C-alpha cells in the first residue's frame, strides 16, 4: 500500500483527474502491479536501469494495448475520418474513409518514432527497467491535407493530453536556466505495457505549455521537428537533452546508462559532463552513454552555429559542447552527431549495410560502430488472421510471442498443402478487411494490389512507380490489372517532399480514364493505424529507396510478418534478407567506398528495372490467383512463407537482446 501511496503522490490532481482510472489494482484497466514494480527498480540503485532518449515515440495505442478509461474520450482524441485522393475522383468527392480508431498519441513523425515505441514495448516484454524520455508535442507533427495542384497543405493538429487514456500529469516541474530566462517543463508519464500486461515501462514526456512559462516558451513543445527557425530547433533539443536529464533526477531515478536514440538528445552529454565536474569526465561519459545513429542522409545530422547556441545556453554548456562537438579547432559550429560519436564508446548503426556506410562517413570512429539491425514489435504489427494461424500451429511454432525466433519454423510447414492454403486464406481475409475499409472505392479481392507508404522524402523516391505512366498502363493492359495504394507525409518545410506529393496527385489524375485497369489511391494522414492496415493487407509491399540512403526501413518488416511479399531495391534491412526468396529485388546497387549523391535519384534506370520486375510479379500473381481458386503449389506462396520465416529475425525482441548483449551489458562496471 505504501508503494501505491508513493506512486499517487507523484501525480498532479489525482483525486480530480485520475481517481476513477487508477486504483490499487488497476491502471486504466491494466494491472497496476507492473507499474509499481518498474518504479521500484528505477528508484533503486539497480545497475540495469537505463534511460532511453528519443525525440519521438510512436506507441500506436490505436492498434495495440489500448487503455480503457471510465471518463468519456474527448472528441479531440478521436480521428475517425480520412480523405482520399484517387483516380476515382467522384468517390473522393462524395466519401471519406471511416475508421473506429482513436487518435494515436501524436508524438511521432515516422519510422524513428515507431522504432522507439516498438523498442519500449519489447523492453517491457523482456521486463527490463528502462524509462523513455521524450517530449509531449501539444500539436503533434501535423495534419495532412491534399489539395490538387498544390500537393500537401499542412494543418494544425489539436488533441487533449488531459483526457488521453493512460497519460498522466506529474506534479514535478524542472527548470532550465537559459540565456533568455528560466524555461520550466512539466512532466507527463505514459506506461508501455508488455504483451501479457505483467510488465510495464514508463515514458517521461516534457512539456513547456503551461502558465508558469513566459509566453515565448510555451509553444516550444507544440510541433515536432519545427524547423523554420534555428531558435526552435536548438530549444527543442535543449529540452530533450538537458530537460530530460533534469527530469530523471527530479523523479529520483537512479540511471546507470543513457541511450541516445539519434543525436537530437546530445545536449544530455553536456548536462552530464557538467554534473560530473572536471575530473574523470571522459571515462564516465564514455561508459554511461550509448548512441544509435539512424540515417546517412545529411539533413538527419544537426549542426548549429556556436553563436546561436550561445544565445540560449550559458557559458559552461557552450564549453562542454565545444569540447566534444567541434569538427575542427577553428570550427564555428557544433555538430550533435559528432558530440555523440566523440563521447559514446558504444555506437550502433541500424542495419549491416548502414554500419558499412556509417563507417565510411565517420572513418575516425569506424572501430566503435557496430550494426544492430532494426526490428518491429511483433504483437503490435501482426494481423488477427495471422495471429490465429500461428496459434493453430502451436505444435510447430510453440510460444512464438515469447520467442519470436520460433517463426523460422514455418519453413517446416512449407510442404503442408493445408498450411499453404491457410496462409493464402489468412492473407485474403486481411485483404478483404482493407477492401471493406475502403469500400466506396470498390477495390477487388482478385486484383493484384501494391502498397507503398512511408515518410515522403526524396531518397525514398515515392513517385518512382509513376515515372513512366505509359509503361504502367501497358503492363496493366497486357499482363493484368493493378490496384496501387499509397500514403505518406512530407515534412512541412520539405519543399522537395511536397513536390513529390504534388507529382503523385498529378499522375493519379492522369490515370483517371484507366481506373478500370489501374486503380490508384493515396490516403491522407498516414499513421500507425494505416501503417498496420496497409502492410498486412496488400499483396506486394513496394520499397524503392535510392541505395544506400535507407538506413534500415521497417515497414517491409511489418509486411513480411503478415506474409506480404516484397518488391524492393537492395538497401537497409533488405540487404540481410535478400539471399532468401522474399520477393523480387531490382534496381541500382550500391558498391564501393563512395556514398554517392542522395539527389541523383536514378529515376529513369530504376523505373525501367521496376517495370520489368513488375511484369514477372503480375504474371506470377495471376497464375497463382485463378478464377477457380488459388494454386496452392504456386511459388508465390513459397515466397509468402519465406517472408514470415524471416520475421524470426526482423523484430525488436531480437534487436533488444542484441542491444543488451552488445551495448547495455558492456557498459556495466563489474
Ligand atoms: C513503420 C512506419 C514507418 C516506417 O516506415 P519505413 O519503411 O521505415 O519508411 C513510418 N511511419 C509509420 C506510420 C509507420 O507505421
104-129 confidence digits (pLDDT tens): 999 999 999 999 999 999 999 999 99
Q: In terms of CATH architecture, what is 378-650?
A: 3-Layer(aba) Sandwich (3.40)
350-390 confidence digits (pLDDT tens): 999 999 999 999 999 999 999 999 999 999 999 999 999 99
Q: pLDDT band at residue 148, thresholds of 50, 70 and 90?
A: confident
Q: Give the least confident one: 291-295, 333-337, 497-501, 510-514.
A: 497-501
Nearest alpha carbon, ligand 1 atom 8: 553
Q: pLDDT band at residue 635, thresholds of 50, 70 and 90?
A: very high
407-460 confidence digits (pLDDT tens): 999 999 999 999 999 999 999 999 999 999 999 999 999 999 999 999 999 999
Query: Which residues touch 281 (CB under 8 Å, ≥6 apart)?
Result: 273
The finding on whether 536 has its CB within 6 A of some atom of ligand 1 is no
- % of residues, the chain, pLDDT over 90: 90
How far apart (Å, rounded) are the C-alpha atoms in residues 44 and 51?
A: 14
pLDDT for the residue 497: 87
462-479 confidence digits (pLDDT tens): 999 999 999 999 999 999
Average pLDDT on 8-16 reads 96
pLDDT for the residue 282: 82
Atom of ligand 1 nearest to the CA of 554: 8
CA dihedral 551, 556, 557, 559 (to 10 degrees): 170
pLDDT for the residue 483: 98
Q: pLDDT band at residue 277, thresholds of 50, 70 and 90?
A: confident
Average pLDDT on 25-48 reads 97
For 651, the 3-state DSSP assignment is: coil
Q: Are 2-90+103-374+655-667 and 378-650 equal in CATH topology?
A: yes
Q: pLDDT band at residue 485, thresholds of 50, 70 and 90?
A: very high
Q: Which of 543, 460, 547 is nearest to 500 (CA)?
A: 460
Of all residues in the chain, what percent are helix, strand and coil, respectively (each to 5)?
Answer: 45, 20, 35
- Chain mean pLDDT for the chain: 95
pLDDT for the residue 339: 96
Output phi, psi for 475, to 5 deg: -60, -45
- Judge whether residue 138 has pLDDT over 60: yes
210-229 confidence digits (pLDDT tens): 999 999 999 999 999 998 89
The finding on whether 528 has its CB within 6 A of some atom of ligand 1 is yes
Q: Give the least confident one: 68-82, 116-130, 487-501.
A: 68-82
pLDDT for the residue 597: 93
Nearest alpha carbon, ligand 1 atom 1: 555
The finding on whether 111 has its CB within 6 A of some atom of ligand 1 is yes
Cα 174 to ligand 1 centre (Å): 33
- Judge whether residue 645 has pLDDT over 60: yes
pLDDT for the residue 79: 77
Q: pLDDT band at residue 648, thresholds of 50, 70 and 90?
A: very high
Q: What is the pTM of this model?
A: 0.97
Q: What is the DSSP string of 172-233?
A: EEEEEEETTEEEEEEEEEEEEEPTTSS-EEEEEEEE--STTS-HHHHTTTTSTT--SSHHHH
526-578 confidence digits (pLDDT tens): 999 999 999 999 999 999 999 999 999 999 999 999 999 999 999 999 999 99
Cα 331 to ligand 1 centre (Å): 36
Q: What are the residue boundaries of the structural domains of the chain, listed by start?
A: 2-90+103-374+655-667, 378-650
Residue 670: Cβ-neighbour burial (10 angstroms; 0-12, 13-18, 19+)? exposed
The finding on whether 555 has its CB within 6 A of some atom of ligand 1 is yes
394-405 confidence digits (pLDDT tens): 999 999 999 999
Cα 445 to its chain centre, rounded Å, is: 29
pLDDT for the residue 279: 62
H or E stretch covering 615:
helix 603-624
Average pLDDT on 180-204 reads 98
Q: Which fold has domain 2-90+103-374+655-667?
A: Rossmann fold (3.40.50)
How far apart (Å, rounded) are the C-alpha atoms in residues 221 and 396?
A: 49
Atom of ligand 1 nearest to the CA of 556: 7
From 110, 116, 561, mutation site for ligand 1 pocket: most ligand atoms within 8 A of C-beta: 110
pLDDT for the residue 217: 97
pLDDT for the residue 177: 98
pLDDT for the residue 495: 85
- Judge whether residue 206 has pLDDT over 70: yes
Cα 373 to ligand 1 centre (Å): 15
pLDDT for the residue 395: 97
pLDDT for the residue 457: 92
Kindly state the DSSP code that residue 571 receives in the 8-state scheme.
-
For 129, the 3-state DSSP assignment is: coil
pLDDT for the residue 517: 97
502-516 confidence digits (pLDDT tens): 999 999 999 999 999
Q: Residue 174: beta bridge partners?
A: 185
245-266 confidence digits (pLDDT tens): 999 999 999 999 999 999 999 9
How many degrees, rounded to 5, is the angle at CA 174 between CA 284 and CA 305?
A: 65
From 454, 460, 530, 558, mutation site for ligand 1 pocket: most ligand atoms within 8 A of C-beta: 454
Cβ atoms < 10 Å from Cβ of 41: 18
Strands (E), 364-421: 369-371
The finding on whether 114 has its CB within 6 A of some atom of ligand 1 is yes
pLDDT for the residue 666: 86
- Judge whether residue 669 has pLDDT over 70: no
Nearest alpha carbon, ligand 1 atom 5: 555
Size of the chain in residues: 670
Q: pLDDT band at residue 670, thresholds of 50, 70 and 90?
A: low
- % of residues, the chain, pLDDT over 70: 99
The finding on whether 488 has its CB within 6 A of some atom of ligand 1 is no
Amino acid at each position: 500500500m505504501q508503494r501505491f501511496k508513493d506512486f499517487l503522490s507523484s501525480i498532479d490532481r489525482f483525486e480530480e483527474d485520475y481517481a476513477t482510472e487508477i486504483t490499487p489494482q488497476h491502471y486504466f484497466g491494466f494491472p497496476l502491479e507492473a507499474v509499481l514494480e518498474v518504479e521500484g527498480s528505477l528508484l533503486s540503485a539497480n545497475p540495469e536501469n537505463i534511460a532511453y532518449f528519443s525525440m519521438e515515440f510512436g506507441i500506436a495505442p490505436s492498434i495495440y494495448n489500448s487503455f480503457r478509461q471510465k471518463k468519456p474520450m474527448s472528441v479531440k482524441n478521436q480521428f475517425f475520418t480520412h480523405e482520399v485522393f484517387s483516380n476515382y475522383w467522384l468517390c473522393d468527392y462524395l466519401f471519406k474513409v471511416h475508421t473506429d480508431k482513436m487518435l494515436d498519441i501524436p508524438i511521432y513523425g515516422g519510422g524513428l518514432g515507431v522504432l522507439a515505441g516498438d523498442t519500449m514495448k519489447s523492453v517491457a516484454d523482456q521486463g527490463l527497467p528502462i524509462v523513455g524520455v521524450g517530449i509531449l508535442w501539444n500539436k503533434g507533427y501535423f495534419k495532412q491535407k491534399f489539395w490538387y495542384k498544390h500537393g500537401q497543405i499542412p494543418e494544425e493538429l489539436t488533441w487533449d493530453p488531459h483526457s488521453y487514456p493512460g497519460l498522466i500529469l506529474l506534479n514535478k516541474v524542472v527548470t532550465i536556466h537559459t540565456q533568455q530566462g528560466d524555461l520550466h517543463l512539466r512532466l507527463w508519464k505514459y506506461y508501455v505495457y508488455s504483451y501479457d500486461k505483467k510488465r510495464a515501462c514508463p515514458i517521461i514526456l516534457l512539456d513547456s505549455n503551461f502558465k508558469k512559462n513566459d509566453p515565448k516558451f510555451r509553444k516550444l513543445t507544440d510541433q515536432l521537428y519545427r524547423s523554420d527557425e534555428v531558435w526552435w530547433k536548438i530549444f527543442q533539443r535543449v529540452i530533450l537533452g538537458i530537460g530530460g536529464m533534469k527530469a530523471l533526477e527530479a523523479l529520483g531515478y537512479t540511471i546507470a546508462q543513457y541511450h541516445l536514440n539519434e543525436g537530437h538528445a546530445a545536449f544530455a552529454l553536456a548536462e552530464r559532463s557538467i554534473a560530473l565536474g572536471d575530473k574523470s569526465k571522459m571515462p564516465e561519459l564514455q561508459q554511461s552513454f550509448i548512441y544509435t545513429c539512424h540515417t546517412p542522409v545529411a539533413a538527419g545530422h544537426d549542426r548549429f552555429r556556436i553563436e546561436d547556441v550561445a544565445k540560449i545556453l550559458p557559458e559552461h554548456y557552450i564549453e562542454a559542447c565545444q569540447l566534444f562537438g567541434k569538427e575542427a579547432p577553428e570550427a564555428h559550429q557544433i555538430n550533435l552527431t559528432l558530440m555523440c560519436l566523440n563521447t559514446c564508446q558504444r555506437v550502433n548503426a541500424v542495419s549491416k549495410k548502414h554500419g558499412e556506410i556509417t563507417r565510411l562517413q565517420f572513418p575516425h570512429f569506424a572501430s566503435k560502430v557496430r550494426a544492430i539491425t532494426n526490428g518491429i514489435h511483433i504483437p503490435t504489427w501482426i494481423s488477427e488472421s495471422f495471429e490465429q494461424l500461428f496459434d493453430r500451429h502451436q505444435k510447430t511454432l510453440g510460444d512464438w510471442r515469447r520467442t519470436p525466433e520460433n517463426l523460422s519454423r514455418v519453413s517446416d510447414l512449407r510442404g503442408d498443402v493445408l498450411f499453404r492454403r491457410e496462409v493464402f486464406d489468412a492473407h485474403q481475409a486481411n485483404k478483404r478487411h482493407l477492401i471493406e475499409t475502403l469500400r466506396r472505392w470498390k477495390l477487388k479481392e482478385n486484383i493484384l494490389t501494391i502498397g507503398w507508404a512511408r515518410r515522403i522524402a526524396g531518397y525514398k523516391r515515392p513517385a518512382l512507380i509513376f515515372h513512366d505512366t505509359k509503361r504502367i498502363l501497358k503492363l496493366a493492359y497486357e499482363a493484368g490489372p493493378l490496384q496501387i495504394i499509397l500514403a505518406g507525409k512530407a515534412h512541412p518545410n520539405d519543399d522537395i517532399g511536397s513536390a513529390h506529393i504534388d507529382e503523385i496527385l498529378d499522375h493519379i489524375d492522369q490515370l483517371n480514364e484507366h481506373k478500370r485497369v489501374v486503380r490508384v489511391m493515396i490516403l491522407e494522414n498516414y499513421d500507425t493505424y494505416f501503417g498496420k492496415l496497409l502492410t498486412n493487407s496488400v499483396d506486394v509491399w513496394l520499397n524503392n529507396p535510392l541505395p544506400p540512403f535507407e538506413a534500415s526501413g521497417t515497414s517491409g518488416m511489418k509486411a513480411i510478418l503478415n506474409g506480404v511479399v516484397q518488391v524492393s531495391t537492395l538497401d537497409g534491412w533488405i540487404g540481410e534478407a535478400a539471399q532468401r526468396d522474399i520477393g523480387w529485388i531490382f534496381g541500382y546497387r550500391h558498391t564501393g567506398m563512395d556514398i554517392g549523391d542522395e539527389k541523383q535519384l536514378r529515376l529513369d534506370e530504376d523505373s525501367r528495372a521496376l517495370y520489368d520486375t513488375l511484369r514477372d510479379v503480375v504474371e506470377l500473381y495471376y497464375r497463382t490467383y485463378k478464377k477457380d481458386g488459388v494454386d496452392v503449389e504456386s511459388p508465390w506462396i513459397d515466397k509468402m512463407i519465406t517472408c514470415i520465416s524471416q520475421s524470426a529475425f526482423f523484430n525488436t525482441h531480437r534487436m533488444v537482446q542484441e542491444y543488451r548483449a552488445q551495448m547495455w551489458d558492456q557498459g556495466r562496471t563489474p
